[in-house]
Structure 1
Amino acid sequence: MAVRLSAALANALANAVDDTVNGGPAGGTVKIYTGTQPATADTAVSGTLLATFTMSDPAFGNAASGVITLAGVPLTVAAAATGTAGWFRISDSTGASVLDGSVGTSGNQINLNTTSITSGVNVTITSGTITMPTS
């Protein structure tokens, strides 16, 4: 049987994710990389760093139904390298890894305007959500 969380616990966990991202003196970051997502958020980064976005502080709104939604979107930066976006990592402002996940243009934890990124050209986060499992 699967573990199922109460709505209250799912919201508390989602808000704890936001609190962790907001750790440190400034906003956390979302970094977009090429290649395959590592096995865990504690595994060393792989792939080429394509873009770094600084999130607002707080990074997400309050949880509802176990979901936190990225605040301040759209977020736009000039790309640091050229490649195809494969995954993202979120870190707090001190650089400590918090989580990573899927990136795409629709239906992913972080959605971009394009996954085909060119150095020096603007890339935009159009939406982002982190979801805790519920019952």
Structure 2
Amino acid sequence: MMDLALPVKNDRLQAIASRVDNAGNGATFTLYTEERPANAQQAPSGEELVALPVPVPFADSIENGVLTGKPMPETMATGGGEAGWGRLRDATGATVMDLEVGEDGSGAPATMPATQVYAGMLVEGVSLVLVEP
């Protein structure tokens, strides 16, 4: 077991934010159906529902071991189904991380008002909160 000091936790979160901001505008958070792959190097599983643009800078705040992402703009869904996970990519398309998706209040790192998505609907209210344990 490892327990990092708070400044180190914040540094790790800053490194994630810097990676997302890599190359400027163009980072995305893409929602998918089904379960996420075993690791972030595997091809996405499930149907792609929507690719949300990530604001630059990505982080709204980093404090006390918590990174809160800036709100993502509403985006029209291209697919339909239940959002189960999402992939965060930088502007070059490189995967930064995969995250569980849940409804607001679920405790998932990526949340949205409702996880059911329909093709053609505007997806809004998706937020990312990353917590260093």
Category of TM-score, reference length = shorter chain: over 0.9
Query: For residues 128 and 33 of structure 2, what CA distance do their matches in structure 1 show?
Result: 18
Could you tell me the TM-score, scaled by structure 2's length?
Answer: 0.92
Deviations 1:46-77 (A, max 9, x none): 11100111111111124101111011x25311
- The CA RMSD over aligned residues, in Å, is 1.2
Tell me the equivalent position of 2:24: 25
- Runs of 4+ with >2 A deviation: none
Tell me the equivalent position of 2:119: 119
Query: For residues 126 and 61 of structure 2, what CA distance do their matches in structure 1 show?
Result: 19
Could you tell me the TM-score, scaled by structure 1's length?
Answer: 0.91
Query: For residues 3 and 77 of structure 2, what CA distance do their matches in structure 1 show?
Result: 39
Tell me the equivalent position of 1:14: 13
Tell me the equivalent position of 1:110: 110
Q: Name the amino acid aligned to 2:77.
A: A
Q: Name the amino acid aligned to 2:57.
A: P
| Gapped regions of structure 2 (runs ≥ 5) | none
| Gapped regions of structure 1 (runs ≥ 5) | none
Tell me the equivalent position of 1:129: 129
Deviations 1:84-131 (A, max 9, x none): 101001000110000011101122111112111000011113421111
Instruction: Tell me by how many angstroms 1:27 deviates.
Output: 3.8
Structure with the larger RCO, 1 or 2 (CA within 8 Å, 6+ apart): 1
Query: For residues 27 and 129 of structure 1, what CA distance do their matches in structure 2 show?
Result: 20
Q: Tell me the number of residue pairs that the alignment of Structure 1 and Structure 2 aligns.
A: 131
Secondary structure of the structure 2 residue equivalent to 1:61: strand
Deviations 1:7-62 (A, max 9, x none): 00000000000000111231411000001011111111111100111111111124
Query: For residues 2 and 69 of structure 2, what CA distance do their matches in structure 1 show?
Result: 26
